Amino acid sequence: MTPRSLKSLSILSHKGGVGKTSIAINLATYLAKEGMRVCLLENDFHGPSLNTWWKPEVVWLNEYLLGTTSIENCLQDFSSELRLSGKLYVGFADPNPETIKKIISINEKTSMTILKNLIKIKNLLKQHPYEIDYMIIDCSPGIGYSAINAMLATNTSLFIVKLSNADIIGTSRLMKGLLKQLKKRTLVLANLIPKDAINDKYKKTRAQQLIEQNFKQDLEKDLVVEFLGWIPTDDKLSHIEFEKALETLNGQEPSRIIYTLDQPKHIFATTLIDLIPKLFND
C-alpha cells in the first residue's frame, strides 16, 4: 500500500513576539475548515502558548517526545468544537515552569531521543486513524535543539520576521548557521507590517528588494531562501486583541481570535490564505 502523502511545515523565528504561533494556528484551522486533515504540534518548549487558545485535555507532547507515552494520548481533536469540515489534531507543550526548566537543559542523548520521536510522528500521522494531509510545527524562537529538530522533521521551514533591523539581521544570521548544515527549503515571511506602510507600491517593492539583498549577503550562494512577502496589520486587529484582553482581565474565560475562522475577510486572514499554495508547494 502506498504511504499517504503528508506535507509538513516548521514555523520558526529569530526572537519571540513576531506572531509565529498565531500564523501556525490560523493556517492549521483554515486548512481543516476547508476539509483537510491537519495536525498542529507545539514544539515551543521555552514559552508554550497554545494552551491560551484552547484548553488541553490530553497528555503533554513532551511526554511522547521523551518516550514515556504514545502519540494517541497527546493529540486532541478540535474538529467538532470548531465545527470544521476536516480534522484538526493539536499536541500541546507543557507550560509548567518546572517542566520548561527541565526540558531546556536536556543533554545530547535526550535531544536525539526527542528528534527520533518527532520524526516518527510523521509516519504515525500518515496512518489510520489520523491520515493527515498537513503537519505544522510551531517552534521555539532562536537556534535551540527544538528548532533544529523541527527543521529536520519537516519538508519546509518558514521564518517569521518583523520589519526591524534587529530582527531582519538576526534572522539572516540565524538562518546562515542552520541552513549551512540542514539545506532545507526555506521561506521568509514578514508579519505585523502596518497596512499603510505597504500601500505605496514603490516603497513595498524597494523594501522587498533590500530584504532579499540582505539575506543573499549573509547566505552562501548554494543556500536558497525565498522571501514570500508581507502580512499587513491594521488598527482593527489591535483593537480586537485589546478587547479580548480586557474581557479576560474582567474575569471572563480567556479566548483568542482565529482570524481565518472568526474574521475571514480581515486582511491578515485573506493574505495568509493567499500564501498557502506557496507555503506547501501546492
pLDDT in tens, 3-59: 568 999 999 998 888 999 999 999 999 999 999 999 999 999 988 999 989 999 999
Question: What's the pLDDT score for residue 12?
Answer: 92
CB distance 92 to 51 below 8 Å: yes
Question: In CATH, which of 3.40.50.300, 3.30.420.10, 3.30.420.480, 3.60.21.10 is domain 7-274?
Answer: 3.40.50.300
Locate all alpha helices (DSSP H) within the chain, ordered by sequence: 20-33, 61-65, 97-103, 108-126, 145-153, 165-182, 201-218, 235-249, 259-262, 267-279
Query: Using CA atoms, how far apart are residues 115 and 165, in angstroms rounded to an integer?
Result: 32
> What's the pTM?
0.90
pLDDT band at 171 (very low <50, low <70, confident <90, very high): confident
SS3 label, residue 35: coil
pLDDT band at 1 (very low <50, low <70, confident <90, very high): very low
Give the residue, 185 or 69, on which the prediction is more confident. 69
The residue-averaged pLDDT of 91-120 equals 90
Task: List the one residue out of 97, 23, 111 whose CA is nearest residue 65.
Answer: 111
Task: List the one residue out of 92, 52, 99, 65 whose CA is nearest residue 76.
Answer: 92
pLDDT in tens, 212-249: 776 666 666 655 678 888 898 887 777 777 787 788 77
Question: What's the pLDDT score for residue 280?
Answer: 93
Residue-range domain boundaries for the chain: 7-274
- Count other Cβ atoms within 10 Å, centred on residue 260: 24
